[in-house]
Structure 1
Amino acid sequence: MEFGKLELHQAAATDFSLPAEPVFNTTTLQQNLHPQPLKVHVGCVGWGTKDWVGEVYPEGTKESKFWEAYARQFNLMELNATFYQIYPAETLTKWKERAAANPDFLFCPKFPKQISHAQTLYGTQDLTKVFYENIRAFGEKSGPLFLQLSDYFGPERFAELEKYLQQLPKDMPVFVELRHERWFSDQQAKEKVFALFRSLNIGAVITDVAGRRDVAHMHLTVPSAFIRFVGSHELPELTYKRADVWIERIKNWQQQGLQSVYLFVHLQQNLLEPKMVDYFIERLNQELGLKVRRPKFIAKPLELF
């Protein structure tokens, strides 16, 4: 992920503290009239690399089998593949079947870039209809849909965004990632767009990335959190410290009535990514009294010298 990416010396000097809790969230979380145990899903972007074989996936796992191996280890995937094309329902049904071994597994499909970037929502009703029709093939394994707006889609396009979101089907949760800087620097624009999301029961993606601290805005427009935890070329110890800060924030939200968390770990270091997923789950289980299943890493035999 290039968005907000910094080099090591820049990331090390970044203030990774999270913004103060917005008063806005109190109203959102208090709308949860039927408190229930917090549901937590944590995963990666994609299904891994060859570096995971022997560490995360069994020795000898072929690349064609990475998908099944991923679904056995993790319970969430940010599905970037749907960003690049609209897949037929038959293909998505096959992907669902390959994840059948894990009853808790969820896909979070990204809206196609033809909708979000190439046409910037304009004239995309037919494309959106096809996308939704096909995505329904995931059935019970469909998590929230992820609409990522381009860096150039700013507050001057508010009316277009409102019109597009209003016509989306209401039976599948959607989270929107805002990237244009003025959504956050213009207080009126920020208040207006988050109020729109809440009125339509649409979530706001929170992205924690070194080079754009404004997108870690902390606003919950629905009683669920969709968090993208993104690392640059930073030291692992810094990444763990950042994770600990998030554990405390999620714990605070849980106490106020948060219903669910969708947490995506996206790091430059391939083997650190699954380990950070495990760390998040371990700490969330400890601090929030949960029992989310952790991935199981492959033990290495002792080497004798």
Structure 2
Amino acid sequence: MTIYVGIGGWTYEEWRGPFYPEGLAQKRELEYASSKLTSIEINGTYYGAQKPASFQKWRAETPDNFVFAVKGTRYATNRKNLAESKDSVDRFLSSGISELKEKLGPINWQFMATKKFDPADFETFFKLLPPEVDGVRLRHAVEVRHPSFGCKEFIDLARHYGVAIITGADSEFPVIADLTADFAYVRIMGTTDQHDKGYSEQALDEWAYRARTLSEGQVPNDLDTFGAKQPPRPHDVYLYVISGYKTRNPAAAMALIERV
């Protein structure tokens, strides 16, 4: 299976110089970033709809082996009652993401830190997530940030529907590393300005090891799990360096690519 490593978005002024060469035209930043990384998480889709032509353009500007993760719309996840999300989910899935075709990776349905686990509420939401759109396979993942999700019932529910639980690490949010789909999705948020590559060499080695372990279908011993262990089987891994000291995130991602 494949380990994809990248960053969140590609338009960030502080990357011009440290990451993007001086004088590089802004319209070529995605082309450049995708030549150095193997994946990017598109964040703009969380805040508003994008045009199908944009997805077509992004697909055309990136290498054949490049993959995008896409953040699902906040209008679907920022709700008290997730049963009311159907129209928002449908609009998002029909907004043109299928134009990425084989470069469409997982969809990150991110929930606010105040959203608590309610079994019936989340089962209703999982039932709204189709396996494909316009003939393109969909891989769904949820990013939950409330401690109430750290329980076997949530793990079992996600496994039943084949939805991955995103492991958000090196932050104030709880870590849930159970494998519940045929891929793993990790977001690490601990880069600092104390290291040229955002993380220490040891920390980069440790995350590379964790990524390789996840790709083998096993959870590293130092990541928290709450459900029953599953027989190991190969998994694709999508790992993004997010937040933290954002200026260093591309350097951290490239250092991880060298290691994995």
Per the normalisation by structure 1, the TM-score is: 0.71
Q: Which residue of 2 aligns with 1:108?
A: 69
Alpha-carbon distance between aligned partners in 1 of 2:33 and 2:242, rounded to the nearest angstrom: 15
Alignment of 1:5-84 (within 5 A): 38-84=1-47
Cα deviation, residue 97, structure 1: 2.4
> Larger Cα Rg: Structure 1 or Structure 2?
1
Aligned length, in residue pairs = 237
- By percentage of residues, which structure has more helix? 1
Note closer, same or farther for the CA distance 1:254–1:232 as it changes in structure 2 (3 Å cut).
Answer: closer
Letter of the 1:153 partner, please give it: K
1:269 and 2:254 are equivalent in the alignment: no
Change (3 A) 1:239 1:119: farther
1:258 aligns with 2:221: no
Report what 2:189 is aligned to.
230
In 2, distance between residues paired with 1:261 and 1:66? 24
**Post-superposition CA distance 1:203-237 (Å, at most 9, x none):** 1100112323xx22221112321010112546328
Seen in structure 2, the aligned counterparts of structure 1 residues 210 and 49 have a Cα distance that, compared at 3 Å, is same
Which among 169, 172, 180 is matched to residue 221 of structure 1? 180
* Cα distance in 2 for residues equivalent to 1:264 and 1:167: 26
Aligned equivalents of 2:247, 2:112: Cα separation in 1: 29
Q: In the alignment, what sits opposite 1:136?
A: 98
Q: 139, 142, 145: which is aligned to 1:173?
A: 139
Q: Call closer, same or farther: CA 1:267–1:180 in 2, change over 3 Å.
A: closer
Task: Identify the structure with bigger relative contact order (alpha carbons < 8 Å, sequence gap 6+).
Answer: 1
Partner AA of 1:231 in structure 2:
G
**Which range moved further: 240-249 or 78-87?**
240-249
- Whichever structure has more strand as a proportion of its residues is 2
Preserved contact between residue 37 and residue 254 of structure 2 (Cα < 8 Å) = no
Cα distance, 1:173 vs structure 2: 0.6
TM-score (norm 2): 0.82
Cα distance in 2 between the residues matched to 1:65 and 1:120: 41
Work out the CA distance in 1 between the residues paired with 2:98 and 2:181.
22
Aligned residue in 2 for 1:161: 122
Q: Which runs of 4+ in 1 moved over 6 A?
A: none
Q: 1:197 aligned to 2:155?
A: no
- Counterpart secondary structure, 1:124: helix
Q: Is residue 172 of structure 2 the alignment partner of residue 211 of structure 1?
A: yes
Who is 2:208 aligned against?
A: 247
For the aligned residues, what is the CA RMSD? 2.2
Percent identity between matched residues is 23
- From the superposition, tell whether residues 40 and 120 of structure 1 become closer, same or farther in structure 2 (CA, over 3 Å): farther
